[in-house]
Structure 1
Amino acid sequence: MLSEYKTVYEGGEGEITEKKSRFIATVVPAATEEEALSFIESMKKKYWNATHNCFAYVIGERGELQRCSDDGEPGGTAGKPMLDVLNGEEIRNVAVVVTRYFGGTLLGTGGLVRAYSSATREGLHSSVIITKIHGVKLHIATDYTGLGKIQYILAQRNLKVLDTEYTDKVDIYVLVPESMQKEVQDALVEGTNGQVKMQVLQDCYFAEIDGIPTVLE
């Protein structure tokens, strides 16, 4: 299990025109090859009258499964450049289809590579890309005298606070990357002279989405 990796949270669509040929890139998250293949088939049905529906997908945190297709374009001019863009951006669990409507002018090998690469980038730009971080949801309980020190320790490490509840004590719920868990817990104990209580509520992946810390499935 990786400590973090980039993926698609919400897919998008981008389009470019090159010498009157339209290239429409559709990007979706895909956690399995079955999801990727189902998406590709749906795009072929949606754009049934297109000249080509080329695809690429990368499945697995480490990109263990990668496939691409030129769908009738000259070999290596469509699917591979699309796949290269996904790998260059280090995005995982993603599938993209670039649909081409031929405009009447041949682009040549280099032109096709540039067009399919550019369309894929446009599709990614219109998508919501996140960094999934593996860590824990930590519950911190303290009295009011220790609150300031705890807030300082969390802010110093740019940790994402999910919620804070104020009653006769203070309950803080924070997301902590796996790589920082021991350091953070040790710092909280030391900073409050052992007057803090902590409990790991959940082992999870999380990300910041639209500036909001979010626990992911």
Structure 2
Amino acid sequence: MKSYITVAKEHRIEYIVEKSRFIATAIPCETEEEAQAGIARINKEFWDATHNCTAYALGPGQEQQRSSDNGEPSGTAGKPMLEVLKKTGITNTLIVVTRYFGGIKLGAGGLIRAYSHSAAEVIHDAPKTLYAPRQIVALTIDYSYYGAIERFLQEQGYHYESEFAEQVRLLIYVDPADINTLATTMTNLTNGQQTWEPLEEKMVALPYND
């Protein structure tokens, strides 16, 4: 499993250069169908725009990449937008930059800068989610150890869930690289009075800050 970052929810910014309006929308999507549906929706919303240029990357390693200049000179819109996604590593994300022509031609260089800037700004401003592999571990302990264990997990930023019965059972989401270190720490905090059971590994959504 490979970690990746995507936009957490749809986000939009507006940028004006030489009286042309550039409206950039970033949309999370996981499939080609979702990306195409997002493009169709933006085309419908901004039906009177001069251009609706697009770029998207899909898959943990950006295995699928597509872009469109939508009538702008070749290579001046979709490709620069896609380069922003490639440079940032953001995936499972669609960017649509809508342009309303303001009457002043920008030239090829100006268009590349405008579309790149719009894409970069919407990606920078959008809230993001990190999807990372986590090993779920079941830790069973006596109630007397729960306070110390909970404090440690909170201080270290672990995500966990607690179940209370005759003993406390915690489901801890652990970076696979940290499994052995955490197991040793749990043994030390409980004087060995614990049960440690590795369960499944899965991708988990985590908050991400640039």
Pair in the same fold by TM > 0.5:
yes
Deviations 1:162-190 (A, max 9, x none): 34456654343332122222332243235
Normalising by structure 1, report the TM-score.
Answer: 0.84
Matched AA of 2:82: L
| Deviation of 1:151 (Å) | 4.3
State the distance in 2 between where 1:162 and 1:186 align: 17
Matches within 5 A, 1:23-172: 23-147=22-146, 150-151=149-150, 154=153, 158-164=156-162, 169-172=167-170
Q: Partner residue of 1:173?
A: 171
Q: Relative to structure 2, which stretch is displaced further, 68-77 or 55-64?
A: 68-77
Q: Partner residue of 1:22?
A: 21
Matched AA of 1:16: Y
Deviations 1:13-39 (A, max 9, x none): 111001110011111111111111121
State the distance in 2 between where 1:170 and 1:129 align: 33
Q: Relative to structure 2, which stretch is displaced further, 175-184 or 66-75?
A: 175-184
Task: Mark the runs of 5 or more structure 1 residues left unpaired by the alignment.
Answer: 212-217
Deviations 1:36-79 (A, max 9, x none): 11211221122111111100000000011111111111111111
State the distance in 2 between where 1:53 and 1:161 align: 41
Normalising by structure 2, report the TM-score.
Answer: 0.87
Is the 1:15–1:122 Cα contact (8 Å) retained in structure 2? no
State the distance in 2 between where 1:138 and 1:82 align: 41
Matched AA of 1:161: H
Partner SS, residue 121 of structure 1:
helix
Matched AA of 1:46: E
Q: Partner residue of 2:201?
A: 203
Is the 2:128–2:207 Cα contact (8 Å) retained in structure 1? no
| Deviation of 1:112 (Å) | 0.8
Is the 2:130–2:207 Cα contact (8 Å) retained in structure 1? no
Aligned residues: 209
Matched AA of 2:37: S
Is the 1:159–1:175 Cα contact (8 Å) retained in structure 2? no
Partner SS, residue 35 of structure 1:
helix
State the distance in 1 between where 2:195 and 2:113 align: 56
Taking only the aligned residue pairs, the percentage that are identical comes to 39
Is the 2:62–2:91 Cα contact (8 Å) retained in structure 1? yes
Q: Partner residue of 2:190?
A: 192
Q: CA RMSD for the aligned pairs? A: 2.4
State the distance in 2 between where 1:15 and 1:162 align: 39
Q: Relative to structure 2, which stretch is displaced further, 131-140 or 181-190?
A: 181-190
Deviations 1:147-172 (A, max 9, x none): 4553465356x242334456654343
Q: Which runs of 4+ in 1 moved over 6 A?
A: none
Task: Mark the runs of 5 or more structure 2 residues left unpaired by the alignment.
Answer: none
State the distance in 2 between where 1:74 and 1:210 align: 36
